[in-house]
Amino acid sequence: MKGQLKVATPEAYIEALDEPRKSDIQKLHTLICETVPDLKPYIMNGMIAYGTFHYKYASGREGDWSKIMLASNKNYISLYACAMVDGNYVADAYRERLPKANIGKSCVRFKRIDDLDLEVVKELLKTTAVSSFGM
């Protein structure tokens, strides 16, 4: 199942998944809600999103985006951490501490939740929650 679903709530998103992905996404959703409770969950672009921030480019383009997003894709789970610290992407800073994940600038991709050190993920979530996204 692709990451973007046409659902109205995070609960409906999770319910639409098949096992074992459903259990992994539920565990991550619970972990995110417990770790960064001020970032309220909702659906954005067909994914589970947590918290918002306002961005504005130098060109004048602006909008709102989510701090953290969670998606179940066909071959992996994506955890998006939309934040920067000292000009560096938060997710990228955890590359060595999450060796079984494929990490892009703002995305941590992995096959199963068991591939992650959840204490490291909690740290990544907390850092993302208090950081901004430099545009």
> pLDDT by residue (tens digit) across 93-107?
999 999 999 999 999
N-term to C-term CA, the chain: 32
Q: Is residue 113 scored above 90 in pLDDT?
A: yes
- For 9, residues 6+ apart whose C-beta sits below 8 A from its C-beta are 42, 43
Q: How confident is the model at residue 126 (pLDDT cuts 50, 70, 90)?
A: very high
Residue 81: name the closest of 33, 25, 125, 24 by CA: 125
Q: What is the mean pLDDT of residues 121-126?
A: 97
Range in 26-30, 39-43, 49-53, 122-126 the model is least confident about? 49-53
**pLDDT digits 0-9 by tens, 81-94:** 999 998 899 999 99
